[in-house]
Chains A and B, each alone.
Chain A
Amino acid sequence: MPADTITSTSTNIAVPPVRSVLSEPGWVRFLLIAGALLFLALFLLLPLVAVFAEALRHGFDAYWAALTEPDAVAAIELTLIVAVISVPANLLFGVAASWCVAKFDFRGKNLLITLIDLPFSVSPVISGLIYVLLFGLNGLFGAYLRDMGIQIIFAVPGLVLATIFVTFPFVARELIPLMQEQGSDEEEAALVLGASGWQTFWRVTIPNIKWGLLYGVLLCNARAMGEFGAVSVVSGHIRGETNTMPLHVEILYNEYNFVAAFAVASLLAMLALVTLVVKTALEWRFGEELAATRH
């Protein structure tokens, strides 16, 4: 970054006349912008609009009825329960992992970072599959769990495990580069001045990383509530019991109950929009304090 600013200031005087040489003729610019916007409108905006249009096709009453129906309410509740367990678990993990990776030098650190990112390169369906292979009735621990009377697959624990797996890296991968860049000078100063480890963590580290932490939790939560493939494999699709919102959307859609499916989907779409708005606001306001916006 510093090298960059030096070179750009040295050529500052020459920039205004040269700029016109470095850009395309007006009509090319217009065509490129129009092409890009048309592509985005067709591929991104239209599907989003379609969700709300389909949900409100038969008016607001039908929309509201679909959202307040008992199975839909149960699905909303279950989604919240799963997120309330899995997001804090990954938050705790993310903070611990970034503390040991960013503040210390040790052997095998790069391997650890690679392994933390691993769940992002695994298909969601495989993420569910691995828990079925472990805890399912024919799984490695299946017989033992059945004897103990513990049910993980086709029950809430399975949903939580699969969700934790797919949202595993979000907090850690936001915090690790951020804390690596910040270094540990401030923490060392606090310790030398007599603060305890926990005091240093709460009063020095946390204030430094709070916006990055919020950013990671935001993305983690959006994925946790919206995950489909992994939870679909472990859920068993029991209506009102093991259906999260995305799974409920699937069932309704496959029953040709389109208005209800899109009504529940519109809630998830709103969650996505809120996530995008808060994420963008964080990037604009605290861009300097987020790892994700720096490269």
Chain B
Amino acid sequence: MVAAGSDAVPAGRESAVTVRASLPLFRKPSVLPGFGLTLGFTVSYLSIIVLVPLAALIVKSSGLGWSGFWTAVTTPRVLAAFQVSFGLSFAAALTNAIFGLLVTWVLVRYDFPGKRLVDALVDLPFALPTAVAGIALSALYAPNGWLGKPLNELFGMKVAFTPLGIAIALTFIGLPFVVRTVQPILQDLPPEEEEAAASLGASRLQIFGGIILPAILPALVTGFALSFARGIGEYGSVIFIAGNMPGLTEILPLLIVIKLEQYDYAGAAAVGTAMLAVSFVMLLILNLLQQWMRSRHAR
């Protein structure tokens, strides 16, 4: 509007300058219409659906006051749930980093029959509803299940209703994050460095450790972080296989649900806020780590 107005009036140089100076240059001029409409709609919708409700979480937990908040999130039960959620998510993300790298490597570097089908299958955890994954995994690993029975009889291992079961569910949920993050980077890796190393007599293992791994490490760390973050928040696929014993196999999201069912809204909000804060901080640290690695590799 402003741009059109100043065009129509053959204004002097000074007035054009004052128009530009008086505007804080909120946006660059464009001939395309609809900026106000779409931005207005986007910001209002975002505020109503996301920002205001998230603010309610903070408001509710701040109603406890600092000491109340601290007491609410440091009870033994909450601390144990923090340990279960973060520890097992970490273990699952680590498993995913290792096996996800293996799967990605095979998908990118080798040819085998049914490769495209396998590639598509990797996205299954994104598409399969978490509750379905949860009951399927707990049926598989239950003491009389397809996998639970042989594992129990041969190795005396119990999976369902133990921390191991939770780790397996979180591994299922997090796998695509690692594969889909590393895959494009591995695909676009130029062969020249590998060729040079090979011509200088490096073995494949040396080439992998010295050239390929450093190049894909930032992506691998990102995939790990995404898988880790997803694991902390995950609910549906875990609760069926977990057994949900307080202090042992009780995850944080379940604890929030339990507090809500007891009408302890402030307590639920406090645990939720703490969970959000801790996972944001961890993501931030991993982000910085990843930036540092990327800059080191670029040199």
B129→A140 contact, CB < 8 A: no
- A residues touching B (Cβ–Cβ < 8 Å)? 4, 7-8, 11, 14-15, 18, 21-24, 28-29, 32-33, 35-37, 39-40, 42-48, 50-51, 54, 93, 96-97, 99-101, 103-107, 112, 115-116, 118-119, 121-126, 129-134, 136, 138-140, 161, 164-165, 168, 184, 187-188, 191-192, 197, 200-201, 219, 222, 225-229, 232-233, 245-247, 249-250, 253, 258, 261-262, 265, 268-269, 271-273, 275-277, 279-280, 284, 295
Confirm or deny: B232 has a beta carbon within 8 angstroms of a beta carbon on chain A.
yes
A226→B190 contact, CB < 8 A: no
A50→B41 contact, CB < 8 A: no
A108 to B293 alpha-carbon distance, docked (Å):
28
Residues of A within 8 A of B122 (CB): 40, 44
A137 to B200 alpha-carbon distance, docked (Å):
72
- B residues touching A (Cβ–Cβ < 8 Å)? 24-28, 30-35, 37-39, 41-43, 45-46, 49-54, 56-57, 59-60, 99, 102-103, 105-107, 109-110, 112, 116, 118, 120-137, 139-140, 145-147, 168, 171-172, 175, 184-185, 188, 190-192, 194-195, 198-199, 204, 229, 232-236, 240, 252-254, 256-257, 260, 263, 265, 268-269, 272, 275-276, 279-280, 283
Q: Which residue on chain A has the smallest CB distance to residue B45?
A: A93
A47→B130 contact, CB < 8 A: no
Cβ 8 A contact of A191, one of B31, B120, B236: B31
Known: A134-B52, A161-B49. A222 touches B131 (CB 8 A): no
B257→A233 contact, CB < 8 A: yes
Q: How far is the CB of A184 from chain B (nearest CB, A)?
A: 6
Residues of A within 8 A of B263 (CB): 138
Q: How far is the CB of B296 from chain A (nearest CB, A)?
A: 21
Residues of B within 8 A of A112 (CB): 42-43, 46
Q: Which residue on chain A has the smallest CB distance to residue B204?
A: A24
Cβ 8 A contact of A125, one of B135, B191, B256, B265: B256
Q: How far is the CB of A183 from chain B (nearest CB, A)?
A: 11
Cβ 8 A contact of B27, one of A28, A29, A50, A107: A107
Interface majority SS on B: helix, strand, loop or mixed? helix
Residues of B within 8 A of A46 (CB): 140, 146-147
The residue among B32, B103, B199 with the most chain A CB atoms within 10 A of its own CB is B32
Q: Which residue on chain B has the smallest CB distance to residue A265?
A: B132
A123→B42 contact, CB < 8 A: no
The residue among B46, B59, B146, B240 with the most chain A CB atoms within 10 A of its own CB is B46
A104→B265 contact, CB < 8 A: no
B42→A93 contact, CB < 8 A: yes
Q: How far is the CB of A114 from chain B (nearest CB, A)?
A: 11
Known: A4-B190, A50-B146. A124 touches B236 (CB 8 A): yes
Cβ 8 A contact of A32, one of B28, B105, B192: B105
